[in-house]
Chain A
Amino acid sequence: MVSLQLRDLGASYGKKLTIAAVSTPEFHSGEIVAVIGPNAAGKSTLFKRIAGLLNGPGEVSLSHTSKGKKAISYMPQDTSANAVLTVYESILLARKQGSRWSVDDADLRFIDQVMAALNIKPIAFRDLGALSGGQRQLVSIAQTLVREPDVMLMDEPTSALDLHRQVEVLSFMQAQARQKGMIVLIAIHDLNQALRFADKVLLIADGKMQACGSPLEVINADMLRRVYGVDARIEKCSRQFDHVIVDGVAA
Chain B
Amino acid sequence: MAAADGSLLTEAVAEGRGEYRARTRRKLLILGGLSLALCFSFAVDLAWGPARYGLDQVVLALFNPDAVSAQVRTVVWDIRMPVAVMAIVVGAALSVAGAQMQTILANPLASPFTLGISAAASFGAALGIVTTVPLIPVAAGLIVPVNAFVMALLATLFIHFVSQMRGVTVQTVVLLGIALVFTFNALLAFVQYLASEQALSQVVFWTMGSLTKATWPKIWITLAVLLMALPLFARNAWALTAIRLGEDKAASFGVNVRYIRLETMLIISLLASVPVSFVGTIGFVGLVGPHIARMILGEDQRFFLPGSVLAGALLLSVTSIVSKSIIPGVVFPIGIITALVGVPFFISLILSNVRRSW
Contact = CB atoms under 8 A, between A and B. Distances in A.
B8 A90 contact: no
A70 B21 CA distance: 26
A76 B238 contact: no
B255 interface: yes
B213 interface: no
A118 B244 CA distance: 24
Contacts of A101: 234, 237, 302
A115 B235 contact: no
Interface in B341-358: 355-358
A109 interface: yes
Interface stretch (A55-63, A119-127, A184-192, A217-225): A119-127
Interface string B1-32: 11111101100111111011101100000000
Nearest to A155: B248
A140 B248 CA distance: 12
Interface string A48-76: 10010100000000000000001001111
Interface of A: 14, 48, 51, 53, 70, 73-76, 78, 80-86, 88-90, 92-94, 96-99, 101, 103, 105, 108-109, 111-119, 121, 124-125, 127-130, 140, 143-144, 147, 168, 171-172, 175-176, 179
Contacts of B9: 116
Interface string B226-248: 00000000111111011011101
Given A73-B252, A118-B1, A14 B166 contact: yes
Given A70-B254, A76-B246, A84 B1 contact: no
A105 B245 contact: no
Interface in B238-283: 238-239, 241-242, 244-246, 248-249, 251-255
Given A83-B245, A125-B23, A130-B355, A94 B253 contact: yes
B298 interface: yes
Interface string B152-169: 000000000000001000
A127 B8 contact: no
A85, A112, A114, A129 — most chain B CB neighbours (10 Å): A112
> 5 tightest CB-CB pairs across the interface, nearest first?
A117-B3, A83-B244, A76-B248, A74-B252, A112-B13
B294 interface: yes
A89 B6 CA distance: 24
A129 B245 CA distance: 11
A94 B8 CA distance: 21
B300 interface: yes
Contacts of B252: 51, 53, 73-76, 144
28 contacts: A76-B249, A76-B252, A78-B246, A81-B245, A81-B249, A82-B358, A83-B241, A84-B295, A89-B241, A92-B20, A97-B238, A97-B255, A99-B235, A99-B237, A99-B238, A105-B17, A112-B14, A112-B17, A113-B13, A116-B2, A116-B3, A116-B9, A117-B8, A124-B16, A127-B355, A128-B245, A144-B252, A171-B1
B45 interface: no
Nearest to B21: A108
Given A85-B244, A99-B235, A143-B253, 14 more contacts: A14-B166, A48-B248, A53-B251, A70-B254, A76-B249, A83-B244, A83-B299, A85-B298, A88-B16, A88-B19, A93-B238, A93-B300, A113-B8, A175-B4
Main secondary structure of the interface of B (DSSP, over half): helix
Given A75-B252, A94-B253, A116-B8, A108 B246 contact: no
Nearest to B243: A83
Nearest to A92: B20
Contact of A168 (B1, B245, B249, B300): B1
A43 to B, nearest CB: 14
A84 B358 CA distance: 6
Contacts of B1: 117-119, 168, 171-172, 175
Interface string B166-182: 10000000000000000
A93 B245 contact: yes
A90, A127, A171 — most chain B CB neighbours (10 Å): A90
Contacts of B300: 85, 89, 93
Nearest to A119: B1
A203 to B, nearest CB: 24
